[in-house]
Every structure is written in structure tokens, then in C-alpha cells.
Chains A and B, each alone.
Chain A
């Protein structure tokens, strides 16, 4: 459903992304990883149709994302940027309801879907709270719920793009969100692409990983076990990174020792 073939992006003569190749099947979760400034969010934006690729070919559901009409695209691709600002006293329920904007012709479904999504995100108690009274992490959860509401019970395959969805969440809510995203993938015709920073949990829950270098080159793409190795990551970040394990021996992500050069 998502195919990138030799995708590159240049802005004002400066190369931002080079030769990105990847493929994502329905129901899979892809993580885009790499150091700061590698162009991870830009890549996500290309998939969302924010701008045109300058070389190569990018298709979502068989078409370049910008070939869709805006509303049509929004019915199939939901995207959550890093910062969503809202300075007005909307309630949580209203904000999640905005996720149904692309389907404004069917407002009755909207009410049901908003309720289901609020249930799934455990936001029922917050439904009538003003966004302005929430903490950063709570707001993040609401905007996530809005993006999920946009593709919830979609009759056709849909794509969910998340820019650092775990960034502002505490560990308990991270676990809840992971479980929730897994559930969305299992029950709905959806694929997910996430930009991820945290190497600590990097191996959990992703089907594919794409590693970008600081120059926007693709270092590796494939299954987490093949791509996420201490060697790759050390090369990528320029410091020594080792794989960590829980005491029972199961993998616990990656970390850099304080003494690492």
C-alpha cells in the first residue's frame, strides 16, 4: 500500500533526503529512526502529501499522495504532527470530533466513532474538559485520539502517520498506546508509520524499520531484528551503542553507556 522507490527531496539545492526505498504492507507498523536532523519528519510529510518528491517515486494506495483531492486524501491518510497548538477552550470531545472532518457528510457516524475512540484511549473522564486545562501529555493523547478517529472503522485501507507519538507520554501511557496501536492494526484495515526516537523500546511492536543517516540517506530498511543491531546504530549515531537485555534475557532495546566514546 505504501511504496517508496529511490525517493529524494531537494530544497533550494540542498539535499534533504536521498534514495529512500521501502515498502509497507497492510497491517504493518513501520518505524522511521535516525539522528536529529535526518529528515524523518520530512519523510513523514512527503508520505502525507505536504510536498512533492523531487526525485524517485512515492505512492500510497497506488497513487502519489498529492494526486488525491485534499478531502479524499484525508479520508485515507491521517497524520499527526509533532506540535498541535490550540489556544481556544475546545473540549476533548470536540477536538477528537474534528478528526471526523473529512467525513463531515456523515455526522451521525462521527458521534459513535468519537465515543469508541474515547473509550479506547481511556479519555471518557476527560470528555468535557477544556483542552487548555490539560497537561502536555494529556493533550498529546487527545491529538493522537483525533488522528486515530480520522481512520477509525474505515471501509477502505487507510494509513496513519505519527510523528513521535510517544514523546510526551509517561511509561504507563506509552504501554497503553503501544497496545492500542497493535489493536488498531489487528482489527482495522490500517498501516502505521511512526517517527521514533526512543531506542530503549525500539524493538517492540514494529514490523519494519527504516534507518536514516544525518545526511538523509537510507542506511537500512527491513525487519527490526535485521536492521536494529548495535553495529548499525553505533555507526549511525557515531557513539558506541549496545543492546540491552532484561534479566530474563529478553531484548530491552539499545543504550549508550555513559563512558561511551
Chain B
């Protein structure tokens, strides 16, 4: 936001400054609507006035269950969408996504390994997040090595699909090895769910904020990287360190997200796309707007996942995939025809 404001002040190119701020305000209001709707809806229906009540039922339902859940969905939806925008920029590939290029799969595998082998001797949420982060990082490096350093669409995506398949198979293997009581928690990593979320998860989830801020501060560098490695170097960017940095921060966001709620696919792919198609392709717009829209979208997806077959809850990862996959197909079809807008 600060970046956007200062950018607005200095350069009045493109979308006018006032319009941009009005858009941000509109999007935040939209998010707030979904957020409060999410606090009110569920097995115990509460209207807007009710959610502020101080009785013990409301305090438990809203304060202990729905509020941390909606907050975490906001943080992780925003983080994932922003990381997706960053990954797409750094790979110069509008169809890249943390889940598609293996970060999520690697993170899920390492989370599963941690649960099965380490957590018997002492479980910690930070340890789980840390191992998911390293898993995501290793998967990304493998994809980069296999897919070559060509930022070509097909090689990176194919390498990502292969690594992802191996990781998901690994998660399956882990669930086979896991004793019964850990089985559910392992299998949930492959699907993604906010079912168990409390304040501990929210506090770990706050770690995505510094990563998001750093990525937004790299907006201009990401713009320049889109021109190509050589061009970026000629414009004074230290290409390799900056690229690794963006991958690291994105892997951190994805790793934290996967360790807390499992794999949530397509948010990171679809949201930055929508922003580029409707607003601007400049990262200083794409990243913050993606964060706001992604946050709102995931709160909505979570609300949907627990309302559709209430009182039964669907894993939210299934909802985002069912919504996102068709959009992805449309995007691929349009893109192969050279259409964008």
C-alpha cells in the first residue's frame, strides 16, 4: 500500500492515482463483507449485530473458531495470490503457480514426513512450517534444474508436474506408513482445510506478512526481470540473487500456508491473472491487489466449503481446485490463441 501510494505520488502514468486508491478501497470493502459474512454463517447462524455479543456461545463460535479461521484465510489467501504473482514474474510465465511448479507438493511431502517421523518425539507448529518451507524450496530447485534455465512454458510446467506427482505419491506413501491417529492429518495435507484452525495457526500465519512486504518492494525489479535475463542485467538488476530471493520468499509463504492448512491450489494462479486482465500488469499493482483479492477469495471459498453440504465440511482445497481448474483451462486456451484481454 505504502509503495502504491508513493508510486502514485511520483508517477501519474496509466491508471490515475485517485482511481487506484478508490479501487483499493472498494476491494477492501468487498473483503470486509465476505469476512463478516463468514463470521456470521455456519451451524450457528448469527447476523451482523449478533457477532459482537459477549455471551459465551458467541465468544466460542466467533472468537475461538470463526475469527481465527477467517483471519488465517485472509492471510494465506493474500499470501498465496501474491506469491503466485511473484512466481509468475520471476519465471516470466503467466501460467506458473506455486502448486503447479511443485512448491506446494514438496511442502506437503515434507510436512507429512515431519508428522510421521518427527512429531512422535515432539510436535511443534514452527517445526512443521519450517520443514514444509524446505520441502517447497527443494522441489522448486529440482524443477529449476530439470526444467533447465529456459523460462520456457512447457519445460518448467512439465518438470513441475513430474515433481508434483512424485511428491503427492510420497504423501500417499507417508499416509500408508502413518499410524491411524496421524493418518487423517496426513491425508488432509493433500486436500487443504481450515477445519482445525485456531489462534496458534494464526500467529504462525502472521509470518507471511514480512515476506509479502518484501515481495511488494521488489515490484519494479520483477517488472524489469520480465524483459529477459540479459535485458534485466543491462538495466542494472543483479538477476540471479534477485530471482533466488523472490523464489525464497514465495516458497516461505507457500510452505507456511501448506504446513498450516494443506495444499490450496489455483488461488496463486487465477488471482494475479484477474488483476492483470482488469487493472495492470505492473507488479506494483498486481502484487498488492492480488493480496487483497486473494484474501477475500479464500475467505469466500472457506465459507462455501463449509456451507455447501453443512454440517459436513468439504476440504477448501477441493473448492479452489473445482473453481480454479476450469478458469485455468480457459486461460490456457485463450493464451494459446494469443488472447489476453
Which A residues form the contact surface with B (CB < 8 A)? Answer: 48, 50, 70-75, 77-79, 81, 83-91, 93-95, 97-99, 101-102, 104, 107-108, 110-111, 114, 128, 130, 132, 150
Contact = CB atoms under 8 A, between A and B. Distances in A.
Given A84-B228, A94-B282, 10 more contacts: A71-B236, A73-B236, A83-B228, A87-B226, A88-B94, A90-B282, A91-B280, A98-B235, A110-B11, A130-B340
B138 to A, nearest CB: 28
Interface in B194-223: 220, 223
A101 B281 CA distance: 16
B60 interface: no
A128 B15 CA distance: 10
Given A102-B236, A107-B11, A87 B224 contact: no
Contacts of B12: 111
A88 B281 contact: yes
B10 A107 contact: yes
A102 B235 contact: yes
Contacts of B231: 81, 84
Contacts of B276: 88-89
B233 interface: yes
B236 A75 contact: yes
Nearest to A99: B235
Nearest to B239: A70
Given A90-B281, A90-B282, A111-B11, A132 B236 contact: no
11 contacts: A83-B228, A89-B340, A89-B341, A90-B226, A93-B14, A94-B14, A94-B223, A98-B223, A108-B10, A108-B11, A111-B13
Given A114-B13, A132-B340, A87 B92 contact: yes
Contacts of A99: 235
B41 interface: no
Interface of B: 7, 10-14, 92-94, 220, 223-224, 226-228, 230-231, 233-238, 276-277, 280-282, 338, 340-341
B231 to A, nearest CB: 6
A4 to B, nearest CB: 19
Given A71-B236, A111-B12, A87 B228 contact: no
A129 B230 CA distance: 25
A71 B232 CA distance: 11
A94 B236 contact: no
Contact of A97 (B13, B94, B234, B340): B13
B96 to A, nearest CB: 11
A70 B341 contact: no
* B92, B281, B340: most-surrounded residue (chain A CB, <10 A): B281
Contacts of B92: 85, 87
Top-9 shortest CB links A-B: A74-B236, A107-B10, A71-B236, A79-B234, A88-B281, A102-B236, A70-B236, A101-B235, A89-B281
A97 B12 CA distance: 12
A90 B231 CA distance: 16
Given A81-B231, A93-B14, A130-B341, A87 B94 contact: yes
A91 B227 CA distance: 13
Contacts of A150: 235
Contact of A86 (B14, B226, B235, B338): B226
A50 B282 CA distance: 27
B32 to A, nearest CB: 29
Contacts of A75: 236
A94 B220 CA distance: 11
B97 to A, nearest CB: 15
Contact of B93 (A83, A87, A132): A87
B13 A50 contact: no
B338 A132 contact: yes
B230 A81 contact: yes
Contacts of A74: 234-236
B236 A91 contact: no
Contacts of A78: 234
A181 B157 CA distance: 42
A99 B237 CA distance: 12
B316 to A, nearest CB: 29
B274 to A, nearest CB: 12
B220 A101 contact: yes
Contact of B237 (A50, A70, A77): A70
A97 B220 CA distance: 11
B85 to A, nearest CB: 11
Given A89-B276, A108-B10, A132-B340, A50 B235 contact: no
Given A93-B13, A97-B13, A104-B220, A50 B236 contact: no
